[in-house]
Structure 1
């Protein structure tokens, strides 16, 4: 079995180990949406597709680690085989892949130092956990091996764990084309103390985490709208001659990222960040006066901290701050490309 960090068109076993090496090098995240995922939720993606509609890039080895990254299924479907030669985002991902390639090669070489380790990795990564018999065997194996991990590799056992609560919607057909409905992204990062607090939140306070995330979105919707309006009002004297909100920010998908869960005094507190987007008609403070349209529709992203405290009575205290939104010129450029097509 080759140890080269290249995609194989003949060996599934090699590609499983290669995916493990990629996942480690990229920090256990989907490179496209930056969402932490488990190994089983990720696939190997060719950043520049093997058969792009715009043609292959001359002199570039599409199967090398410099062009490979771990991607989740929904993002792989979204990305597709488009024309990416001049796309800034894809170019940035190619640069990142080139910087990660040496680590991918080192990870793969480390796996191959011991044949027994290779066989164990292949067996675990290929195991069908949907099978009750396989799941029972893996569970028994885990119970036996965990004491060894606690003694020899405590950092592995105590490592923070990210649980993905994202709501995924099936694609819909719009004017004959399949379109992916935006997701309600939600991630909860848990250390050992946070995992214990989550049990209290769900089992003692009777608040399942998905319901808590839905509560948080609903509770902060009006605050987000008000804070964005206030920011635009202040911006009129600083960044723009005028700024008028186009729709409510809370009508768009709001991402909820919980970075800490803590229990104290019969209460569980969730802290993290809220992320969203909105559009506004703005007139630049400095503009070309020959421009026929002084006002333009701009896209903005916001992200800010929040805290929410739950007791047996439900949500009893909360705060948030959307911070200063930033204009997303990438999204605007992509929208213009879509219009040109």
Structure 2
């Protein structure tokens, strides 16, 4: 609700910059929508359930997502990190009732305690903490700021490695575009970067090429399933247009890697958020005229990709790719116009 939060509570508005910094840290600098790593300057604070939602829609969202009666849209459990591009796209999409937002709200709830702790910690931070926070949130699009960061940050990283080398690992963004239009988020830690090097040198292919083949097949399979579901909702004489993808976002991560005899195997896991649209014409119930059908469908799923190379085959750059959908939620609607 849009009423003010009780005095002393951490929330949107009163804790602006501190809250943004805390969210950037707990969400690992990733946009929750496209799941790509971003600079701090390119991120924003997102209300998962929008701040401008009507009272009636908010009550329905609270019921549907199993939220507490005192749920407040400005509390950290309703806030996430989002990039500017995704935030602009989000305003044109219908979302508060989708199951994927239940999962997103659950993630925000898991982060809530740490977000509150970090916000309050910033209020009492010493000079070193404040300086490091300013460096982490600096506008690195500015040439002078970026040059200063590149000059002085390595010394901080070296000192951090001496204190705790596990904290020096980082995620390298290897995001790419599928079929020249759909974003795929791929981030690699130290292990993932090692896998990338081995695949390139031994198998002669890149991880993005390998993943692209499997993802294209996966999306095609989902599209066929949705098309079949649309056809079931129409009459037998309905004439359907091809199903088009209206929105698609994919995230991928490496989960396992190893050699098994003569074979090298890389396992990926990921999420897929896709929307489809289609239309059809069919006879009305009297059979003397046509009615127009408009169809919309969304699929949120988790999947696994498995890529295997036979090392005894000399020219085998792409390997054998298989995939499986491990968890899926579909929403399909067909309306007459």
Please give the range of the TM-score, normalised by the shorter of the 2 chains: 0.5 to 0.7
The answer (yes or no) to whether the contact 2:140–2:146 under 8 Å persists in 1 is yes
Larger displacement relative to structure 2 (105-114 or 84-93): 84-93
| Structure 2 gaps, min length 5 | 1-6, 60-69, 229-239, 277-294
Q: Distance in 2 between matches of 1:152 and 1:48?
A: 40
1:317 paired to 2:319: yes
SS in 1 for 2:324: coil
Which residue in the other structure is 1:194 paired with?
192
Larger displacement relative to structure 2 (264-273 or 134-143): 264-273
| Structure 1 gaps, min length 5 | 170-181, 233-244, 280-295
Deviation at 1:318, TM superposition (A): 1.3
The answer (yes or no) to whether the contact 1:3–1:109 under 8 Å persists in 2 is no
Q: What is the TM-score when the length of structure 2 is the normalising length? A: 0.60
The answer (yes or no) to whether the contact 1:66–1:101 under 8 Å persists in 2 is yes
Q: Distance in 2 between matches of 1:44 and 1:262?
A: 36
Which residue in the other structure is 1:184 paired with?
182
Matches within 5 A, 1:61-80: 62-80=73-91
Which residue in the other structure is 1:291 paired with?
none
- Deviations, residues 185-222 of structure 1 (Å, cap 9, x unaligned): 4233423232133245558876454444434445x469
1:165 paired to 2:197: no
The answer (yes or no) to whether the contact 1:28–1:38 under 8 Å persists in 2 is yes
SS in 2 for 1:271: strand
Which residue in the other structure is 1:7 paired with?
12
Over aligned residues, Cα RMSD in angstroms? 5.3
Larger RCO, structure (CA 8 Å, separation 6 or more): 2
Q: Distance in 2 between matches of 1:104 and 1:5?
A: 9
SS in 1 for 2:317: strand
In terms of fraction of residues, the more strand-rich structure is 2
Q: Distance in 2 between matches of 1:113 and 1:128?
A: 24
Q: Distance in 2 between matches of 1:203 and 1:306?
A: 21
Q: What is the TM-score when the length of structure 1 is the normalising length? A: 0.60
- Deviations, residues 14-69 of structure 1 (Å, cap 9, x unaligned): 533311212344565434x3725345243102334344477996987544434432
Distance 1:302 1:318, change over 3 A: farther
